[in-house]
Amino acid sequence: MTSTTGLTLSRTDHVLRASLFGPFRMAAPDGTDVVISSRRVRALLAMLCLSPGEELDRHYVSTLLWPGRFQAQARASLRQCILSIDRTVAPLAGPVLTMSHGRMAIDPSTVRTDLGDLEAALAAGRVDDACALLGHIADRPLLDQFDFGAAFDEWITSRRVHIEGRMQSAVERALVDLERAGDLAGRDRLRDAWRSCGRPAPPGKDDKRRIAILPFEQFDAVGGSFFLAEGVVEELSSRLGSIQQLGLVGRTSVASVVEPGRTLPKIASALTVSHLVEWSVHRFIDGIRVNIRLIEGATGTEIWSDRYDGTVADAIGSRHVIGGHFVAGLCSALGLDAAGVPARRMTTNRDAYALYLQGRALTMRTIGDDVIAKAIDRLEQALEIDPDFAECWAALAEAHLYSATFTPAADRLERAAQMAHCARRAIALDPSQGHARVTLAVYELTQHNAVAALDLALDARRLAPNDSEVAIRLGQFLLFLGRPRAALPHIEAAVDRDPVHGRNYAALCCAHLCLGDFDAAIAAGQSMLDLGFPPGPLALAYAAKGEHERAVGIYYSLRTLLGTMIMPPPGMAALDAAARDAYFMFGAKGVCSGDPAARDAYCRMLDGLHQVMADPYDISIAYPAIYMGHAELVMKIYREQPNLSNLFGLMSLWSDIDPVRRIVEHPDFMAFADQIGFVAAWEKHGWPERMPASLRDRASASGS
């Protein structure tokens, strides 16, 4: 039977054939083309056929295929597409779609694809079939000729990157197997076929392999405190993250997809990585053993393994052991150069190391009963034992940052000073510290020194190019300075490395708002909301599109986060439920309704709160003042006291929507920008991308 690829391959009766490379095509079991006139029905089938059996969220699919439509309309259109598939395709091969809890998939038993055939041929060592498929696929892009706007483009680009990486991994594995089997002629033919089809090197323009370190297994025959396994993760993550050719997925993202019963290939697919690192740590009475394996993500096959045996003291005190024993071996297996990867400045004291790991774990939790205070206490105890523990100083700086950001505090300036002291100490002990540099950069911004902040962030990127914290801070700083196009790649890199951190999507949403791409802002904002992050920028995006009622509802939902992600202002009595709901509805209408009277009323309320609150610079005043374009109050707050909590509201400052744009267009804005150090940063690093008249005149005078 002739397939859509033009090849004659054996297959099961009553199975549809889909061609994913080039324009999407589907063939019936008898080989005739299935005529699908609707562009979106073809796109929906294509999206599902990329990974048969893998569920897609129906709401997300509707936002990709019908950008800009009201959600009810988009959902109704998606239902019509599903009905069209049932009418057109089901008579040929039976029911092909499965539905469950707002998700959908295509039954893998009803469809075969050219991509699936290629991967099956490579896995089975069928060189002739693989070469023929590669010859037909050639350099055709995956799912060509679909265009539904920026959000869909972003989605298909990410899928292309993932699948190109999957294909190359499968080819590389097949080449190794052929060589081991002594089939050198087959190896050479497959290599030539791959090269001649001109596929781009995965995983994309940065030429990086993507890898994820799985949670460890720990086996302890001794009992008591034992933190070595956590330390191995810390060390591997730090050192692998400093390799330019490697993209390391963040640990929070890994934790979100690892669950009992989920196979390694499914984990790799969910994380869009080519390889996984799996490992275990055993402690015995007389020593330890660390086993490590490198897994090919697409197949779940082990392609390299190693083992370390020694004492606990050796593993804690001699970081070069892990660096030389594991990092070099991993890089060799991946074909990467590990030369020059620095070891971190850790401690040789076991107790200090245990306290450090406890403090880091508590810091990552962020929210809870005094959880940050407990983290700071553990880290300070570690430094009492070993005051030259550079990594612990960097962790303590970050804990102070989170303390001032996420907990009610009237002493944010003091906490900022403590943070800066710890970051400087870390850098002095270990000049290769990138993480500490971006933490110190945040402090410099609170001191109206944007030049120093951006210099530190750029230096941090040089030292730690794969650190998601470095990437997101650099992106945020560029947003503050009105350069969203320059910020976007760094923010996208942070999302790519840590795609389950709501903060990263908040920055992505703000970047798209500043660029005027409201559909992309909504897509990012929805991810932010799904991850439990305050959805203020998402509400702005809907308001910008004229969907004021929906925007008001989203902003009003902020009340449910009061006491968790949103903490009550220091010194303020707790609100009962009725008062809380009334206040947030008043604010939602002021920010999102588009009613000038509601906006003016809320501006007056914020002016009053600014006069009477214990912390007149709290985010409950600063953020909505930006959202409403209350230029005078915004300039007063950030001129007098930008702090570790309200600083990140500046990501929305350059949103290209009314009324937010009134701030940068205010006649006093240029003088304000000069006072807070923005002008000096612009003169050194580049002027804003959207230039009001006052800034344009100054930029022209500076020769920019």
- Domain ranges in the chain? 16-196, 209-344, 348-440
For residue 6, name the pLDDT band (cuts at 50, 70, 90). Answer: very low
Q: Is the pLDDT of residue 41 over 50?
A: yes
Q: What angle separates helix 150-180 from helix 127-137, to the nearest 10 degrees? A: 150
Helix (H, G, I), strand (E, B) or coil at 213: strand
366-369: Cβ within 8 A, 24+ apart? 366/402, 366/406, 367/406, 367/564, 367/565
Phi, psi angle pair for 587, to nearest 5°: -65, -40
What is 348-440's CATH number?
1.25.40.10
- Edge-to-edge strand ranges of the sheet holding 25-27: 25-27, 16-19, 111-113
Higher pLDDT, 370 or 366: 370
Instruction: Find the mean pLDDT for residues 493-501.
Output: 80
Asked whether 148 and 65 are in contact (CB, 8 A), the reply is yes
| CATH fold group of domain 209-344 | Rossmann fold (3.40.50)
In the chain, what is the straight-line distance between the N-terminal and C-terminal CA atoms, in Å?
65
**CA–CA separation, 585 vs 559, rounded Å?**
9
Phi, psi angle pair for 263, to nearest 5°: -75, 160
In eight-state DSSP terms, residue 224 is: S
**CA–CA separation, 11 vs 67, rounded Å?**
38
For domain 16-196, the CATH architecture is Orthogonal Bundle (1.10)
- pLDDT (0 to 100) of residue 659: 93
Q: Of the segments 329-333, 334-338, 399-403, 574-578, which one has the largest average pLDDT value?
A: 399-403
Token pair of 658 as six digits: 């009314």
- Asked which of 31-40, 192-201, 384-393, 575-584 is least confident by mean pLDDT, the reply is 192-201
**CA–CA separation, 158 vs 621, rounded Å?**
38
Token pair of 589 as six digits: 């209408």
Q: Which residues on adjacent β-strands are paired with residue 219? A: 282
**Helix extents (H) in 531-649:** 536-544, 548-556, 577-592, 596-612, 619-627, 631-640
Residue among 47, 40, 63, 53 nearest 527 (CA)? 63
Token pair of 139 as six digits: 């350099």
Handedness of CA 487, 493, 499, 503 (dihedral sign): negative
- pLDDT (0 to 100) of residue 338: 55
Higher pLDDT, 535 or 478: 478
Q: What percent of the chain has pLDDT over 70?
A: 83
Tallying the residues shown for the chain, one arrives at 704
Q: Is the peptide bond before 688 cis (omega within 30 degrees of 0)?
A: no
Higher pLDDT, 521 or 199: 521
For residue 428, name the pLDDT band (cuts at 50, 70, 90). Answer: confident
- Asked which of 100-109, 194-203, 331-340 is least confident by mean pLDDT, the reply is 194-203
Asked whether 435 and 466 are in contact (CB, 8 A), the reply is no
- Asked which of 359-363, 396-400, 692-696 is least confident by mean pLDDT, the reply is 692-696
Higher pLDDT, 518 or 241: 518
Q: Of the segments 226-230, 632-636, 643-647, which one has the largest average pLDDT value?
A: 632-636
Helix (H) or strand (E) segment spanning residue 247:
strand 246-248
Strands 275-284 and 209-213: parallel
Strands 16-19 and 111-113: parallel
List, in order, residues 6 or more apart from 388 with CB less than 8 Å away: 345, 347, 429
Q: Which residues on adjacent β-strands are paired with residue 247? A: 210
List, in order, residues 6 or more apart from 94 with CB less than 8 Å away: 14, 110
For residue 701, name the pLDDT band (cuts at 50, 70, 90). Answer: low
Token pair of 277 as six digits: 């690192």
Q: Is the pLDDT of residue 227 over 80?
A: no
